Chains A and B, each alone.
Chain A
């Protein structure tokens, strides 16, 4: 039981490049989330999904797109990376009912130069 996994762990992009971050969970959770974590800012919700085939915007969605084609996977895409997207990205999953305990992945450290 791996829990929540993320690939890649590290990535360096040049401005304007694109990439996709993959999140996978094996706990059969309905809900999945993408957060970014910046120093002094806590975790901010980018996008989330309440089930396969559904996605919704969070606090800071601009510059990102997501897809949830399979229940266990949640993809985060950057179409044209900008230095402001340099951050640590965490994926999480949770059940749909109380308690909404979130399980986090190990994170992806992204640097955009």
Chain B
């Protein structure tokens, strides 16, 4: 079945540093990818929609300068958390939509801990 690889699975960083999370569709092309954020025992909240070759669309309340999204190819989208702070600590999950069959697949998530 289709696989979405998310890397790293876990990252710990110091406050003020930037962290990049990669989301790759391994066996299909994804014109659209989505980034979610999940706090412990909470729901997934959509942060932004990433379209290949164009600017990401951010949900209301999500700082675009804080969470930089790049979707430079049909198989890769990256989320960069800039100048991370402890309140940015969360589980970040990407999903990718197969351009051929419109099916949606989720990555396994990245646990970010900012000290």
| Pairing of A with B | no
